[in-house]
Amino acid sequence: GMMFLVQRETQTTLLAAVFRVLILLISATPYPRMPKELLPTVITAMCGRLLDRNSNKNEHYALLVNVLSCLEAAFAKVPPSSDVFGVLIDHCAGPSLAQQKSSVVVILLRCIEEEMHFSVRCGALQVLRSVVHNYPSCANIIWEKVRDIVLDLLQTESFEDQKCDANFGPPKEELSTKGRCLVAGIKVIDECLRVSSGFKGADDLKECRLLDIQQISDCTVNKSIKSAPHFEIETPGPSQNCSLDITLGTNRWTEVLETHLPRGLSHASAMVRTASLTCFAGMTSDVFFSLPVNKRDYVTSSSVSLLFVCFIMFP
């Protein structure tokens, strides 16, 4: 019934309510006990709505934001599903251009292009972050596009310090949306770098005893670092096997250290600086020591300098 409304309803207010309910359903549904095609069907229906351009511009943007919120919830579901991964890569390398344009990843990449509203771009970037986190092999598909988009956003004027004329300048709300869009983009870059670096977390899958029950139980638990991408996914065939290529990780880090992070770490927005600094947390020791000496020095000095600034501003 929900999918019927999502696919056919045209009344804006009702659609907004449907999407709010759908987000809750997507988040709360126990998919292991459901038909395996349920979540892929929902994702396919949502992507069909992203291609719908029958509404006026404002209604269209609002619709896209709602759809992207549902997609983010769908791709963020854990554990990752081989059926969802199949939907993601379906038609990515199809024989015809029309098939490639209908793939989920291509549709999402189209939503982050410059002509789209910043709220839509922000939502699409958040979806892509969830995609890369749960389905790491998609990082190679989206890397070049996201890299160029984020660099373009970083090269624009500072969002917080920009002086806007009351009659001609963009409103503060729009600037705030631009800032959130940039932060979302940097987080996608961060996730892609973690994938190419083979980041699994310092204590990933390490058995540790819960401190609060130590004295009454000998029970141990598997501690999983949530910031690490899900590299181990049960999928048929070799398509989801993420073999670690240290050269790829080194090359991507070198590129980002030359172009993106110098702008991000010196940005006027504290949120942008924080997101940029957090990228360093996903760099593995193998990648760090494979970088040129000047790049390693930059990573160390930038981290120490920003830490020193934080101590001064927040003693």
What pLDDT shows up at residue 214?
A: 45
Count of CB atoms situated within 10 Å of the CB of 228: 20
Please identify which residue in the block is written with the tokens 């120490």.
304
Token duo for residue 262: 């110098």
Residue-range domain boundaries for the chain:
1-135, 175-201+244-314
> For residues 36 and 27, is the Cβ–Cβ distance under 8 A?
no
> For residues 264 and 156, is the Cβ–Cβ distance under 8 A?
no
Q: What is the mean pLDDT of each run of 10 residues along the chain (315 residues)?
A: 75 84 90 88 88 68 91 92 88 52 86 91 96 93 95 74 44 68 96 92 46 48 62 51 73 96 90 92 92 94 78 54
Cα 210 to its chain centre, rounded Å, is 31
What pLDDT shows up at residue 91?
A: 56
What pLDDT shows up at residue 211?
A: 47
What pLDDT shows up at residue 221?
A: 47
Measure the CA–CA gap between 169 and 256, rounded to whole angstroms. Answer: 31
Of 219, 220, 200, 198, the closest CA to residue 208 belongs to 220
Of 197, 203, 227, 200, the closest CA to residue 299 belongs to 197
Of 131, 118, 104, the closest CA to residue 49 belongs to 104
Measure the CA–CA gap between 130 and 148, rounded to whole angstroms. Answer: 19
What pLDDT shows up at residue 100?
A: 56
Token duo for residue 52: 């719908």
Please identify which residue in the block is written with the tokens 């501003």.
313
What pLDDT shows up at residue 246?
A: 84
What pLDDT shows up at residue 5?
A: 78
DSSP element (H, E) containing 13? helix 12-28
Measure the CA–CA gap between 226 and 262, rounded to whole angstroms. Answer: 27
